[in-house]
Amino acid sequence: MKRVLYTFLEYCALYLGLGLLGLLCLLWMPIATILNFVLPKASAGRVGRLAIMAGFYLYIRFLSLMGACRFDLSALDSLRGEPAMIIAPNHPCLLDAVMVISRLPNVTCIMKASLIDNIFLGAGARLAHYIRNGSTIKMVLDAANSVRDGNHLLIFPEGTRTIRHPVNPILGGIGYIAHRAGMPVQTVFIETDSAYLSKGWPLFRKPSMPITYRIRLGKRFEPQADIKSFTAALEQHFIDELDGTQTVSLLSK
């Protein structure tokens, strides 16, 4: 009986959490749409990014209070107030961007064009000046301009969620953006003991709870003109730091 009750509570935590995130997006959509029209461009970006941070912070707090997850994200707090840079985490699951943005008030990120065009998510993303991942050249230029404007730019250098332990091959785009912007790349390591929302995990499949997430900072890389060498060094750093950690992928389950 106790096990049945515990399983029921886990399902409640899962669905209530997803429902809260959906509700926050739904409530913000009309407000963001209006603000896109009435606020100056610079102010709109700051307001949009702060609002997304606040929404994600509430979601993370809810998951913690429900006992669904345990988060140790405090390492990110040292990046607040730091000069513009590129923030480059590994990408074990769909919650990665949520965790990073929940602690930092001035983060732009590269987002799928289909999501920016989405009626449900697009208004908030456009208000925050998130960057469309359409044309590679335009994406690199827009991303570099965003960092030069003083923002923190969140990029997942694997390009997609991790399917090869400990990290997928690092793509060269991050090197081009760093070189173009003349800004450093701060590596971030996300570790978890669950494959929840990793590549191929169904959205409504219940994981074992609580799930533990821990974030720590790695080396900060200065930009280089030799993109191939830069990318190789970045990938090796991720491998050295993540190999043997608790990070779980579907391939390692």
Domain range for 157 is 2-252
Q: Which of 102, 111, 124, 162 lies closest to 35, judged by CA?
A: 124
Burial bucket for residue 178 (CB in 10 Å: 0-12, 13-18, 19+)? buried
pLDDT at 7: 75
Beta bridge partners of 212: 70
Other Cβ atoms closer than 10 A to 79: 18
CATH classification at residue 115: 3.40.1130
Task: Identify the H or E element spanning 72.
Answer: strand 69-72
pLDDT tens over the chain, length 253 residues: 666 666 777 778 778 888 888 899 999 999 999 999 999 988 999 999 999 999 999 999 999 998 899 999 999 999 998 999 999 999 999 999 999 999 999 999 999 888 898 888 899 999 999 999 877 889 999 999 999 999 999 999 999 999 998 999 999 999 999 999 999 999 999 999 999 999 999 988 889 899 999 999 999 999 999 999 999 999 999 999 998 765 554 444 4
pLDDT at 251: 40
Residue 96 near residue 41, CB atoms below 8 Å: no
Give the single-character DSSP code of 155: -
Domain total of the chain: 1
pLDDT at 6: 65
